[in-house]
Amino acid sequence: MSDYLIIIHILNAVLSGKNLTETFTANIGKIATADINTRVGIKTRADKDLAYTQINIGKIKDICYGVVRNYYRLQAVLSQIVSRTPEDKNLQILLLIGVYELEYTKKAPYAAVNELVNLSLELSTNQRVKNFINGVMRSYLREREQLHQQAAAQPEYKYNFPHWLIHKLKQEYPNKYSQLIENSNSIPKIALRVNLSKISFDDYVKILNNAAIDFDLIENKIVLKLLLKVEQIPFFQDGYVSIQDISAQRLIELVKPQKGDYILDACCAPGGKMCQILEHSQVKLLGLDISKTRLNKVKQNLVRLGLSADLIEADASKCDWWQACDSPLFDTIIADVPCSASGTLKRNPDIKLNRRLLDIDNFVILQRKIVSNLWQMLKPGGKMVYITCSIFKEENHDNIEFFSQRLSDVLVIREFNILPTPFADGFYYCVLEKSIN
C-alpha cells in the first residue's frame, strides 16, 4: 500500500469525525501488522521493524497533520480554482494533499504533481479524473500568488479557523483572540516532566546538556526546542521523564496530599496527572476511566515509571462502581473532565474540523453530571480539583458558579485560566473544598 493511500485513508476517517492522533496511531499499527503477515510472517522484532521500512511514517504524519492543521487555508485556496467540489471524497482529499505539498513542503513541484496524477489513476480509471487533478495542480502553480490574495479576504483563510470558532473567540477574548488563534495554529512543543522519584531536576538538565539537546526552561519546566522521537529523549524508557505539557504540569501546585491520603483521579487516561502525583507523594490512588483502551495506556505509563495505582474501567458520571467496591470517601478528587479541548488546538488540530458550537453545551451537561456525582464521594474537608483543557467560560467559570449554587458545602479556594502560548496549551484549574460544616 502506498504512503498516499494510507494518508487518504486516515484523512477520510478524520474528515468523518474521527480523532486524528488515535486514527493515525491505529492505522500505522494495523498496516505494519498486515504487511508482516503478507510478506514474512510474524517471527521476530526484526520482522516487525521490516514492515515499517515499507512505509514512510514521517511523510505520512507530516501530510496528515499538515493537511488538518492548514485545512481552512487549503480549502479557501482550492475554492478559487474549483467551482464545484468533487463528490468523491478521495478526490477532495487528493486536492488538499496536492496544495499542501506544493505550498508547505520542499518537494519539487513537478514531482508532487506527477505523483498525485499517477495516484489519481489508482483511485479511478476515468481519464477525466487524471486530467482534472493535473489541471487543478498546474492552475495552482501558475496562479499561486493571486489565489492566496483572493482567499485572504475570507476570515477562515486569514485565521485558519472555522467561522463559528473565530466568532466565539472574538466574543470571549476581544483583545486577545488574534494572538490566541496564532498560538493555537503553531506547531506544539515537547515538554518534559522529570520523575523526581528517580532523578533530580538539575541532574536531568545536566544529562540533556551533555547530550547536546537544546531546550528552554519555562516556568522551571523543560521545553525542547526540536521535535524529537521518544527514543531520542535520554532515559525516557527508564522512566526518568515523561512528555507532558507545561500547563498540565501545574496540577502539582494545587494538590498537597499527606502520606497515606486516598485520591481519586477521575477520567484519568492517559495518566500524566496521576503519575505526577505518585512521583511526588506516597498516597493510595485510584484511577478511573470509561475507556479500556485508554486505561491500557495508563498501565503502560505506570509500568515505565515504576509506579502503582488501582485502575477501574467505569463511568465517572455514575456511582455504581464506587458502591460496588465499597470504597471509602476520598481525601482528594481530580476531576479532569471531558471538554471541548479548545486550549489544545495546536496539538489536536482535528478539533477545528469536527467540533461544533452545540458540542460545548453537551460537554457542560456532562461536566456538571460528573462533578455532581463525584462530590458525594469526597470527605468533608477534602478537596476536588476541577480541570479542563478548555478556554471557554461555559466549561470553566460558569460551571463553578453552578457548582457553588447547586452543591452543598462548596468553598472555592482558587481558580485560574491558562491561555495557549507557543510553548503550552490552554487549561483551567479550580480547587473546590468540601466544608466540614
Measure the CA–CA gap between 402 and 365, rounded to whole angstroms: 11
Q: For residue range 398-412, list pLDDT tens digits in order.
A: 999 999 999 989 999
Among candidate residues 139, 159, 179, the one where a domain is terminated: 159
Q: For residue range 31-65, list pLDDT tens digits in order.
A: 544 443 443 333 444 444 444 447 899 999 999 99
Domain identity same for 372 and 417: yes
Q: Which residues of the chain have pLDDT under 50?
A: 1, 32-53
Domain identity same for 284 and 413: yes
Q: What is the CATH number of the domain that holds 217?
A: 3.30.70.1170
Position 396 in a domain: yes
Domain identity same for 239 and 259: no
Three-class SS state of 232: helix
Position 371 in a domain: yes
Position 175 in a domain: no
Q: Write out the residue range of the structural domain in which residue 148 sits.
A: 3-159
> Structurally, how many domains does the chain consist of?
3
Position 132 in a domain: yes
Long-range Cβ contacts of 297-304 (<8 Å, 24+ apart): 297/269, 297/270, 297/271, 298/268, 298/269, 298/270, 298/271, 298/274, 301/242, 301/270, 301/271, 301/272, 301/275, 302/271, 302/275, 302/278, 304/237, 304/239
DSSP code for 400 = H
Among candidate residues 243, 261, 285, the one where a domain is terminated: 243
Q: Cell triple for residue 320? A: 455504581
Position 125 in a domain: yes
Position 399 in a domain: yes
Model confidence, pTM: 0.91
Domain identity same for 300 and 210: no
Domain identity same for 397 and 270: yes
Domain identity same for 124 and 229: no
pLDDT of residue 30: 64
Measure the CA–CA gap between 255 and 258, rounded to whole angstroms: 10
Measure the CA–CA gap between 254 and 268, rounded to whole angstroms: 17
Domain identity same for 215 and 322: no
Domain identity same for 237 and 271: no
Residues with active-site annotation: 389
Measure the CA–CA gap between 252 and 275, rounded to whole angstroms: 11
Domain identity same for 254 and 125: no
pLDDT of residue 31: 59
Domain identity same for 119 and 199: no
